[in-house]
Structures are given as structure tokens and as C-alpha cells.
Amino acid sequence: MTPTEKLRALSEEHSAHNYHPLPIVISDAEGAWVTDVEGRRYLDMLAAYSAVNFGHRNPRLTEAVRRQLDRVTLVSRAFDHDRFGPFVTELAELCGKDMVLPMNSGAEAVETALKTARKWGYEVKGVPADKANIITFEGNFHGRTTTIISFSTDPDARDSYGPYTPGFRTVPYGDVEALRAAMDAETVGVLVEPIQGEAGVNVPPSGFLRAVRELCTAQGALMIADEIQSGLGRTGTTFAVEHEDVVPDVYILGKALGGGIMPVSAVVADADVLGVFKPGQHGSTFGGNPLACAIGREVVAMLRTGEFQERSRTLGAHMHERLGRLPGDIVREVRGRGLWAGVELHGKARPVSERLMGLGVLAKETHDTTLRLAPPLVIERADLDWALDQLEIALKG
Ligand SMILES: Cc1ncc(COP(=O)(O)O)c(C=O)c1O
């Protein structure tokens, strides 16, 4: 057995089969490149679903970690620490909001936003007890908790996990009239991905996010933008809502906020929203820990320069220009913004991602027929071009 086969066998035997990974075993990584246990190099065109926006082991981030490891890593929120205040201040400022509630995984931050909307609905908006509803969209992906999968429309994510959490209404993504019809006086929030990532990098029709904003304002409901995958530079702007000049009431952030090093997530909103929480009403042992805050501060500082957004914008335009020239008999459609694309094929995407791996490029299918491309924003233009050359070869079969 090769080293790869030996390690894959261990994973197969002793790990739950809740993923279907490509048969590669990575041992090292730097920038946009990873190396497997047999010394083969691959260009990473997935970037851990946008968690590695700044590249593997970005030196600014690993340096921030090293400095923090020599000081303090965890105190819990029972005590304050010297990275916490600056982190929440700087992240709030990046978002143009007053307050941050830090968590760890993306799903935890989504849960936090849902709790925020309900609590705000009862205590500020005045919705009768237990009557609040939150609107979500078909094709959504917001995480894997019991409540979140309750409003999933993906049978793989949802089936066999009932009974489901009530209080959600799900309407077609991009359908303004359906949204308007679903909202009422008891609607406390609309949870929306500005671009649906897991569904296949679905960009909503132009004007949709603005309409969500207007309907939320008209109904007195919170517009909650899940920017966990779309935010922090991925689409060429800090937040994907910026493409429609929209400011949501609540941002949900994760993935890249942890610099590809550890899970760091947050809910960001103004004080009239996040101010509903009093001591003991929500929390997390690890949320806002010193190491997370040290990384998060560096991430915010890196985004402040606009350099990564600019890379995503210019390289993304180039990538989409090239993807647009792929043969129409193989590629049905290409969606996306910035360095983010869903390449919709006429046939199955898995064999293409397997062939790409053989050619030294890592990308992954989402659902059956979509190949998702989301390289680290630090990718060099020549490397990107090389990956796209390999894609052309892989598509031909
Ligand atoms: C838009 C969105 N929200 C939430 C999540 C859940 O994040 P996590 O896997 O960190 O719980 C994801 C993960 O893919 C996501 O894409």
C-alpha cells in the first residue's frame, strides 16, 4: 500500500463517513499550494470553502499566532483579556456597526443570529411570545445544527433529523414577491446568503438584495446577511452585499475570520439589536478567546488595506472571462463574482474534480453537476491561468 492508501484506509475505517473527500492526503501547505504525503504538489482551488482566503499559513497570521501563543490563549469570558476589546472594536468598525458577539463555528454564529432576531422581536419589536417567524430561502446552507437544518431544503442535510424546529418560512431564492407574501407583523428576520455558496455559487437576480433590505425596513424585520462564505474579500468587496449597496442589520461572519487557522465567527450589529443580550443569556467557552482575537484582529487589519478585495476583483474578472470561454457543450453556465465560481456542467462534476486532482489542481463538486472554484485570494495570476488550463483538459475527459 502507498502512504496515501494506508492513511486513507485509517480514515475510512475510523472516521464517520459524513464526507466524500478526494483520495488525497495533505501534509503541508503554503500560500495557494498544498503538498501530499508523497510529495506531490497541488494548487488549492477551494481554499477550505473560503476559510483560507488569505492563503495557507499566511505569514502575517502565523506570526500573530506565534506572538499570542507566548502570552495567553484562553481565559473564557469569565474574565476580560487585552485582545478582546480591540478585536470587537476593530471588527465592528470594519462592518460599520456598534457591537460584536464572537463565537467559533459558522453554524454557532448563525444560531446566535437567529436567537438575536427572536429575542429582539419579542423584546424590541413587541411580537407576542413564541409567535416570531424568520424567513429563509430555498437552497440555503447555513450550517448543520438541528435548528439550521430544520429550514434546509436539501434532503441530505435535513432528512432523518426531525422533529424540526418551528418558526421558519422558506421561499424561493431571488423571488421578491414570494418574500413579500411570506412576511407579516410577526416576521423578526430574513436570513439570506448574498450569494448562495453550497447551493452552487448562486448569484441572485440584480436588485434582489436591495428588495430584501426594503421589505425588512418596511416590515420592521432584521435583514440578516450570512456572509460566512461570501464575505471578507471573496467576491471582490469586503462584503457581498456591497455589490447592491445594501447594509444589512446583522452580519454573520466566520470561515476567513479565523485566517484558516482556527474557527472564529461573529455576529455583528448595532447596539439596538445586539444590546438585547444580558449576562447569562448566551455564550460560548471559546468564543472571543485571546488566540482567536489575535488572529481576527490581523484579518481585519489585512482587509482594511483593500488589497485582498482588489486581488479578488481583478483576478476574478480574469477567471470569469476565461471560464466564459469554456465549451458550451460541456459547460451549461458559469456563476459567481470575484474569485468565486460555480461551473455548472451538463454532466456529473465528480469525475472532473477527480481528473483535476490527477492534473495537480484541487477543486470540489457541490451537489451533482456543479464544480466550485474558490482559490485563496493570494493566488498568483500565472498559477490561476495554469489551473484554468488544467480545467480545460479535465473537462474534455
Ligand atoms: C453561508 C454559510 N453559512 C454557514 C456555514 C456553516 O459554517 P461552519 O461549517 O463553520 O459551521 C457555511 C459553511 O459552509 C456557509 O457556507
State pLDDT tens for residues 125-178: 999 999 999 999 999 999 999 999 999 999 999 999 999 999 999 999 999 999
307-323 vs 290-304: helix axis angle to the nearest 10? 70
Task: Determine whether the shortest distance from the Cβ of 226 to ligand 1 is under 6 A.
Answer: yes
**Measured in angstroms, how far is the CA atom of residue 39 from the centroid of ligand 1?**
31
C-alpha cell at 397: 475527459
Clarify whether 348 is annotated catalytic. no
Alpha-carbon span 359 to 232, nearest angstrom? 30
C-alpha cell at 280: 447569562
**Measured in angstroms, how far is the CA atom of residue 290 from the centroid of ligand 1?**
23
Clarify whether 226 is annotated catalytic. yes
pLDDT, tens only, 324-344: 999 999 999 999 999 999 999
**Measured in angstroms, how far is the CA atom of residue 357 from the centroid of ligand 1?**
24
List the residue whose alpha carbon is closest to atom 10 of ligand 1. 106
**Measured in angstroms, how far is the CA atom of residue 159 from the centroid of ligand 1?**
19
Number of the ligand 1 atom closest to the C-alpha atom of 108: 11
pLDDT, tens only, 80-104: 999 999 999 999 999 999 999 999 9
Say if residue 254's pLDDT is above 90: yes
pLDDT at residue number 65: 98
List the residue whose alpha carbon is closest to atom 16 of ligand 1. 229
pLDDT at residue number 367: 87
- Contacts with 83 (C-beta within 8 Å, 6 or more apart), sequence order: 68, 290, 293, 294, 297
Instruction: Choose the catalytic residue: 36, 44, 226, 249.
Output: 226
Task: Determine whether the shortest distance from the Cβ of 109 to ligand 1 is under 6 A.
Answer: no
pLDDT at residue number 397: 83
Clarify whether 125 is annotated catalytic. no
**Measured in angstroms, how far is the CA atom of residue 193 from the centroid of ligand 1?**
10
List the residue whose alpha carbon is closest to atom 8 of ligand 1. 106
pTM value is 0.98
Residue 266, beta-bridge partner list: 102, 253
DSSP strand pairing (41-44 vs 361-362)? parallel
Task: Determine whether the shortest distance from the Cβ of 192 to ligand 1 is under 6 A.
Answer: no
Residue showing cell 506565534: 66
Helices (H), the chain: 3-14, 47-50, 59-69, 84-95, 106-120, 146-150, 155-158, 176-182, 208-219, 271-274, 290-304, 307-323, 350-358, 381-396
Task: Determine whether the shortest distance from the Cβ of 229 to ligand 1 is under 6 A.
Answer: yes
pLDDT, tens only, 193-239: 999 999 999 999 999 999 999 999 999 999 999 999 999 999 999 99
292 burial (CB, 10 Å; 0-12 / 13-18 / 19+) is: buried
Task: Determine whether the shortest distance from the Cβ of 193 to ligand 1 is under 6 A.
Answer: yes
Task: Determine whether the shortest distance from the Cβ of 49 to ligand 1 is under 6 A.
Answer: yes
